[in-house]
Amino acid sequence: MAKTKKVKLPKSVGGVKIPKELRRKGETLIGGAIDAANSPKGREMLAMGLAAVATAAAAKATKAHADHAKPHHPPEPPRPPEPPRPPEAATPGRAGIDANVDQVVDAVSAAANAFLQRLRDRKG
């Protein structure tokens, strides 16, 4: 069996002191992992893990390449806004407009005459 490498953890990490008991357990755990990785079974497990990572990376690269291989269609240019439409002709023809204007003029004239008549009555 191969010689076990001695692993030493630091006494403090980021200004926080690590208890001696915890460091010893960590050193044993890491040292055992190194020993396991150096064994034939450990090397096989590492190779399988690396193969899985390579397969995932290849699948991702293939998908990314397939996305870029799609034909590129330029976006449609924006359409200019349509000008507002005038409202539908809800009023009658020109003859009806003339009749309405005459009614408005008559009403305004009557109101002005009544106003002026009251002003004359007050003065006199």
Which helix H or strand E contains 16, and what residues bound it? strand 16-17
pLDDT tens sequence for the chain (124 residues): 456 667 788 888 888 898 888 888 888 888 888 877 788 888 888 888 889 999 988 888 887 666 665 666 778 888 888 888 877 665 555 555 666 777 788 888 888 888 888 878 876 5
**Beta strands 16-17 and 12-13: pairing type?**
antiparallel
* Global model pTM greater than 0.75: no
